[in-house]
């Protein structure tokens, strides 16, 4: 009985996932876009990350203590860029993608235009939806976060980070678009480099920001579909239009 109960539960989960994927494909198939269903993950980052700690110290005018016997940190090493965990991993920029895929099991989707379908938007904050997007010979990290910027008022923050340097990031433009019930919301901006903290981007509000009521207007049975397009551009602009 226990065996069949577990199997039945797994089958129901699979049916639910396939149904969500089918609905998204039905909506976006006319545009020829690839659809990726992304399940939520509660943030496990209880301790501040190294980049967040350095940023806080810098803002307060306090520099980390330096002693002659300490080992000098290699400036070519970058910390783990996954915003879900306080991961102690450090490595070179070119192996960040391998670390995210192998250690944190973050999926990667290829294509110039894709649809990011975030499920279970009703879950309490903090919650993250993350995927990697391979396009134009580079890899990008899309982060959608539900977070209470003010107590009792959760908001949704969506941003695109290039897994590369700031100079490389300036060569691209990304567009996030929500389209449902004769309503359209678009955010277009230059991606930030993964060498910057995702937390800083969200704190600065330099991303697509949705309050709960606005997110509900574009959601369908608790799922939010975000169209993503990345282009190469030398003209940098940031705008939100509705």
Residue 218, in any domain of the structure:
yes
Measured in whole angstroms, how far is the alpha carbon of residue 94 from the centre of its chain?
A: 19
Summarised one tens digit per residue, pLDDT across range 177-211 is 999 989 999 999 999 998 888 888 988 899 999 99
Residue 44, in any domain of the structure:
no
- Structural domain of 100: 31-38+77-232
Residue 55, in any domain of the structure:
no
Residue 61, in any domain of the structure:
no
CB 83 within 8 A of CB 128: yes
Residue 9, in any domain of the structure:
no
Summarised one tens digit per residue, pLDDT across range 16-61 is 445 444 544 444 443 446 788 888 876 555 444 445 443 443 344 4
- 7 contact partners, CB below 8 Å, separation of at least 6: none
Nearest to 161 by CA among 122, 214, 119, 200: 200
Q: How many domains does the chain have?
A: 1
pTM of the model: 0.72
Q: Which two tokens stand for residue 70?
A: 């300490």
Omega cis (within 30) before 126 = yes
pLDDT > 90: percent of the chain: 41
Residue 209, in any domain of the structure:
yes
CATH number at residue 127: 2.60.210.10
Residue 189, in any domain of the structure:
yes
Residue 47, in any domain of the structure:
no
């Amino acid at each position: 009985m226990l065996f069949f109960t577990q199997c039945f539960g797994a089958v129901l989960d699979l049916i639910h996932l396939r149904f969500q994927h089918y609905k998204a494909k039905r909506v976006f198939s006319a545009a020829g876009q690839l659809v990726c269903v992304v399940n939520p993950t509660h943030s496990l980052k209880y301790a501040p990350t190294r980049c967040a700690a350095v940023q806080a110290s810098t803002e307060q005018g306090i520099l980390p203590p330096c002693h002659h016997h300490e080992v000098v940190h290699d400036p070519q090493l970058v910390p783990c860029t996954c915003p879900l965990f306080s991961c102690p991993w450090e490595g070179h920029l070119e192996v960040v993608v391998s670390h995210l895929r192998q250690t944190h099991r973050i999926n990667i989707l290829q294509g110039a235009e894709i649809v990011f379908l975030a499920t279970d938007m009703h879950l309490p904050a903090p919650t993250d939806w993350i995927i990697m997007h391979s396009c134009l010979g580079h890899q990008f990290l899309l982060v959608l976060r539900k977070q209470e910027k003010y107590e009792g008022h959760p908001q949704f923050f969506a941003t695109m980070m290039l897994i590369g340097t700031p100079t490389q990031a300036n060569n691209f433009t990304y567009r996030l678009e929500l389209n449902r019930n004769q309503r359209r919301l678009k955010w277009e901006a230059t991606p930030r480099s993964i060498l910057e903290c995702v937390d800083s981007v969200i704190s600065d509000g330099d991303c697509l920001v949705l309050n709960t009521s606005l997110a509900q207007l574009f959601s369908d049975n608790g799922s939010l579909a975000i169209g993503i397009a990345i282009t190469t551009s030398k003209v940098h602009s940031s705008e939100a239009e509705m």
